[in-house]
Structures are given as C-alpha cells and as structure tokens.
Structure 1
Amino acid sequence: MTPDKRADYWKANLRYLLVLLVVWFVVSYGFGILLVEPFNAIHLGGYPLGFWFAQQGSIYIFVALIFIYAALMNRLDKEYDVEED
C-alpha cells in the first residue's frame, strides 16, 4: 500500500473512531448525567429512562458500537484491499 493510501486509510479509521466515541459520550454522559431529569419523566420497564441510560443503556450502546466499528472496519479493509484472509 502506498503512503498516501495508508494515510487515507488511517484518516478514515480515525473518523470512524471519533464519530463512535462522540455517540458513546453523548449517550453515557449526556443521557445518563446531564439529561437525566428530563428523561426520568419517561419510564422504560418500570424504571425512569434517565436511570436506565445511566445503569444499562450506555453499556448496551457501547456493545452495539463495538459491532458497528467491526463492520465499518471490515468494509474499510475491503475498500483499501487490506482485508484478512
């Protein structure tokens, strides 16, 4: 792979990481801490939504983001022809 293609690959990887980390931050910090009071007016399974995001929602989102990142990287690997055998 040429140095230019390597740099493009790394930039795309960092873009994916940044977007996914921002989503995780918004869900865990924003929904679980900053917006807990408005979300507590809504109930999910008998529990206030703000509590749910603080206790379990951010974990579920984190696990989902792991799978999303893996899928994005597989697609990026195919695009740059560096996929695993």
Structure 2
Amino acid sequence: MTVIPIGTFAEPEEHQHINRPLVVSPETLGKLIEVSPQTLSDWRKTWRDGKTGEGPRFFKVGRLVRYRLEVVETWLSDLESK
C-alpha cells in the first residue's frame, strides 16, 4: 500500500469556490476592503440608474443589501487600472 502525504492532492478547480461566499453584506465587505459601512451606503446612493455609480454594484434581497464578490473583484481591478 502506498502512503500519500496529506495535502498532496489539489482540490478540483470546479470545487475551489465552495468555501467562499458568493455574496456578502455591507458590514462584511467593509471589513474586507477596509471602508466603513457608511462609505458603502454613501456610494450606493450614487447608483441611480443601476448602471453607473461610485463603489461596487449591489443588489437587494428584500431590504437587505448584498454585494457579489465577483462584481467587487472586477470593480477593484478596474480601480487598479485607472
């Protein structure tokens, strides 16, 4: 019997996202990007038509504001390229 050390197998790429949330709250996002929830709130107020505004695009689930991490990552990349 062959003994294979733990950690030798890489997780299949299609399963790597499972432990990562798809969406986050303003409080969580604020901690991740080091801005206050109030700043995120101020940025949300600039989104009038759903197409342009400051900060990352957001959506609501009922009254709850949520951010898709994929959209936040794209927004951050766009900031870096400016």
TM over 0.5: no
More helix by share: 1
Work out which structure has the larger RCO, using CA pairs closer than 8 Å and 6 or more positions apart in sequence.
Answer: 1
More strand by share: 2
Taking structure 1 as the reference length, what is the TM-score of the superposition? 0.28
